[in-house]
């Protein structure tokens, strides 16, 4: 079912799927939220106030953008030597999340094909690998950290090139939606799962 439309005037996020139950997300998303709040502004109170602010006056004109990502899973942990060569494997789980971002003006009709190709096409991807003994927690941490790093990198690039910023609370909402979407895909069958999330204002 399509995602519900964002409230008028508030920053919205389109995931292309219903949100995954929040209770499945653990310490990974909580830590990423704290980190982003220290960089981009106040916490949940400000986010709630921004969500129901119907005025566009004073908002920086940041174009919509889409996060394109891949989450890759391995049901083992690789042991590497000093040169990076795999020397053995041990019991556990490995989750790798790579994400890149494209502004609306960057996307063209020729940008078709699997999302994994877009990660390379749009450049500036951030990749995070997490290993652990619990599958869900490993995926949760990889998704939250991967989303956090890419969101921070993209918003910093926008601010440096244009001087524009998102409203307080908006980066947190994007992070939550990205982490949920990534985590949902990580729990589906298949070793490599693409996902995407579009931020709309």
Q: What are phi and psi of 8, to 5 degrees?
A: -55, 135
Mean pLDDT of the chain: 77
CB 201 within 8 A of CB 59: yes
Does residue 95 contact residue 149 with C-beta atoms inside 8 Å? Answer: no
CB neighbour class for 46 (10 Å; exposed up to 12, middle 13-18, buried from 19): middle
**Least reliable range by pLDDT among 16-20, 80-84, 129-133:** 16-20
- Per-residue pLDDT of 69-98, as tens digits, reads 999 999 999 998 998 899 999 999 999 999
What pLDDT does residue 10 have?
A: 47
Q: Is residue 181 predicted with pLDDT exceeding 70?
A: yes
């Amino acid at each position: 079912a399509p995602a519900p439309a964002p409230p008028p005037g508030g920053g919205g996020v389109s995931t292309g799927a219903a949100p995954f139950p929040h209770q499945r997300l653990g310490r990974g998303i909580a830590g990423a939220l704290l980190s982003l709040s220290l960089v981009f502004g106040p916490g949940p109170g400000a986010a709630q106030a921004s969500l129901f602010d119907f005025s566009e006056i004073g908002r920086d004109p940041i174009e919509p953008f889409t996060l394109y990502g891949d989450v890759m899973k391995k049901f083992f942990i690789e042991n590497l030597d000093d040169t990076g060569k795999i020397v053995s494997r041990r019991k556990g789980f490995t989750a790798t999340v790579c994400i890149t971002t494209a502004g609306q003006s960057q996307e063209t009709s020729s940008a078709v094909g699997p999302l994994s190709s877009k990660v390379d096409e749009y450049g500036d991807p951030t990749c995070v690998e997490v290993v652990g003994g619990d599958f869900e927690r490993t995926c949760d941490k990889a998704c939250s950290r991967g989303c956090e790093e890419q969101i921070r990198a993209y918003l910093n690039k926008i601010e440096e090139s244009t001087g524009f910023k998102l409203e307080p609370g908006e980066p947190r909402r994007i992070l939550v939606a990205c982490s949920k979407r990534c985590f949902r895909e990580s729990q589906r069958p298949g070793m490599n799962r693409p996902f995407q999330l579009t931020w709309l204002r």
